[in-house]
Amino acid sequence: MPQLDGEKITVLTIKNRKEAGEKISAVTSYDYPSAKIASKAGIDIILVGDSLGMVLHGDKNTLKVDVDDIIYHTSMVAKAEPLSLVVSDMPFQSYHISVEKAVENALKIVKKGGAEAVKLEGGRKRFNVIEAIINAEIPVMGHLGLTPQSINRLGAYKVQGKVKGKAKEIIQDAIELERIGVFALVLESIPLELAKKITEKVSIPTIGIGAGKYCDGQVMVFHDLIGFTNLYLPKFVRKYADVYSIIYDALERYINDIKKENFPGDKESYHLNKDIDEFLK
């Protein structure tokens, strides 16, 4: 059922937020219930991120996620008919082989998955691909700074742009991405001073994750934000809930109730009709 309250958020809404000086909220979602709740809570952008490889599949990085995974999870999110803008990640390999393949994959993610925009990582090496996807009428969100799909080249997930040369490169890439036509830009794990500079220099919204308070918006991984795991979390994560403890406690009480024969009780059981009751005696 479409939600009746509120207005559908589009790439235009997102662009206008910056002009209006309104901060943008974004969160990952990989399924129907989390998309429903994110939309209802008023999240601007739902990101079907390739972080799902680590968060849902238990992989050690995002590299194994493929186009079909993104389509599968995007379609669950799209079924929730969120008011939030649905942006899906282009996974590793889906835009690295050729411009044609990249456009074909982006089109699939939109047509089969129901994404309203795609996000892809990288600067100067990806300009031609990004331009071609935009020319295919698909809005693109850029992603600079720490690009997790580069993990094997980088060697570790670490803050980017701390030295002058790299900081300059990120600024130049951001400016060029705006010129090419990306509608927003994720800045991941860069110093807040650099994120501030970029945010001032470009007129498209910057969405930070580990990039400090000066960005035009923030994005976080849903499972980190709600405290779904008790594993290591990066410094930039703020846990707004401790869902892990809530689930753990519920499961412990469930096990206990089964063992003590407290569950199911009469309230949770069905009864025969009176006449059949007699028949079983």
Instruction: Figure out which of the listed residues 38, 70, 78, 89 binds ligand KIV, where binding follows CB under 6 A.
Output: 89
Asked if 209 interacts with ligand KIV (CB under 6 A), we say: yes
Residue 34: alpha-carbon gap to chain centroid: 11
CB of 42: closest distance to ligand KIV in angstroms?
A: 19
**Rounded distance between C-alpha atoms, residue 183 and residue 49, angstroms:** 17
**SS3 at position 118:** strand
Cβ proximity to ligand KIV, 51 vs 199, nearer residue: 51
CB 74 within 8 Å of CB 105: no
Cβ proximity to ligand KIV, 46 vs 268, nearer residue: 46
**Rounded distance between C-alpha atoms, residue 186 and residue 96, angstroms:** 19
Count of residues making up the chain? 281
H/E run at residue 206: strand 206-209
**Rounded distance between C-alpha atoms, residue 247 and residue 242, angstroms:** 9
Which is the catalytic residue, given 7, 121, 188, 252?
188
CB of 224: closest distance to ligand KIV in angstroms?
A: 9
CB of 47: closest distance to ligand KIV in angstroms?
A: 6
Asked if 28 interacts with ligand KIV (CB under 6 A), we say: yes
Asked if 219 interacts with ligand KIV (CB under 6 A), we say: yes
Asked if 218 interacts with ligand KIV (CB under 6 A), we say: no
Which residue of the chain is nearest ligand KIV when measured via CB?
Answer: 49
Virtual torsion, Cα 179, 182, 188, 190, nearest 10 deg: 10
**SS3 at position 47:** strand
CB 88 within 8 Å of CB 45: no
Cα torsion 6, 9, 13, 15: sign: positive
CB of 30: closest distance to ligand KIV in angstroms?
A: 9
* Only segment of 47-55, 77-85, 94-102, 268-276 that touches ligand KIV (CB under 6 A): 47-55
**Rounded distance between C-alpha atoms, residue 43 and residue 26, angstroms:** 6
Cβ proximity to ligand KIV, 240 vs 263, nearer residue: 240
The closest alpha carbon to 126, from 156, 154, 97, 87, belongs to 97
Q: Mark whether 121 is an active-site residue.
A: no
Cβ proximity to ligand KIV, 9 vs 27, nearer residue: 27
Q: Residues 134-173 vs ligand KIV: string with x where CB under 6 A?
A: ----------------------------------------
- Catalytic residue numbers, as ranges: 188
Residues that bind ligand KIV (CB under 6 A): 28, 47, 49-51, 89, 186, 188, 209, 219, 221
